């Protein structure tokens, strides 16, 4: 379980295809503190550390992850948002995030707002029941608040700190981002027999 508050940016050093899987090597200041078998959020996707060497570590993404997220688009030099699993005796500064990406979205535009930025994204209409005005969304692992919500689009505002210390600054029109909708909304939708295609 995560909170959507990014701890560090990692850099992709190498990617390798192994059958239908993709092995990724990441350099990060967090590497010396990690353990093999630990779960780390990578752009909002929960992946397991499989090997650690000095300031780098490896993860493996299976076919399901590659199909439902932007992890398969990663290449050497790309920056990745990283968050270690939450500690249950700490504050939840974002919202409850599972690290289970529901879908991807597409950036439509980014507009500077005199010190902040507004991003507009398109998302698949089958998830419309899971997103509400002023609700939470996890976007590339970042906990953000949505507004100007329609059945296929939403907007988020990004403050300078988030812009500087996450990979949101590399998101441009046409960029594909990972989306995880609020788990509370999923349970409510289930109870109300609203059945989005997950």
Q: Which residues contact 161 (CB under 8 A, 6 or more apart)?
A: none
8 contacts 30 by C-beta, under 8 angstroms: yes
Which residues are registered as beta bridge partners of 177?
Answer: 105
Output the domain CATH number for residue 38: 2.40.30.20
Total domains, the chain: 2
Task: Chunk the chain into consecutive blocks of 10 residues (it has 198) and report each block's average pLDDT, rounded to whole numbers.
Answer: 95 96 98 96 98 97 96 97 88 86 97 96 95 96 97 98 96 98 86 68
Kindly tell me the sign of the dihedral angle through the C-alpha atoms of 169, 174, 175, 176. Answer: positive
Distance of alpha carbon 155 from alpha carbon 33, whole angstroms: 35
Which residues are registered as beta bridge partners of 60?
Answer: 23
Domain end (from 84, 116, 142): 84
**116 with 166, same domain?**
yes
Look at residue 96 in the predicted model and tell me its pLDDT. Answer: 86
Q: 46: domain range?
A: 8-84
């Amino acid at each position: 379980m995560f909170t959507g508050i990014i701890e560090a940016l990692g850099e992709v050093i190498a990617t390798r295809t192994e059958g239908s899987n993709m092995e990724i090597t990441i350099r990060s200041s967090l590497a010396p503190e990690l353990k093999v078998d630990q779960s780390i959020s990578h752009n909002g996707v929960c992946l397991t550390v499989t090997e650690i060497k000095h300031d780098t570590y490896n993860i493996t993404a299976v076919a399901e992850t590659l199909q439902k997220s932007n992890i398969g688009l990663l290449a050497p030099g790309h920056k990745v948002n990283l968050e270690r699993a939450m500690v249950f005796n700490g504050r939840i500064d974002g919202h409850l995030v599972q690290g289970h990406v529901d879908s991807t979205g597409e950036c439509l535009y980014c507009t500077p707002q005199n010190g902040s930025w507004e991003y507009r994204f398109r998302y698949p209409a089958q998830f419309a029941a899971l997103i509400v005005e002023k609700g939470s969304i996890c976007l590339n692992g970042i906990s953000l608040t949505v507004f100007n919500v329609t059945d296929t689009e939403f907007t988020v505002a990004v403050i300078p700190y988030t812009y500087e210390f996450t990979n949101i600054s590399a998101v441009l029109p046409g960029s594909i981002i990972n989306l995880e909708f609020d788990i509370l909304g999923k349970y409510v939708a289930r109870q109300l027999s609203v059945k989005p295609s997950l």
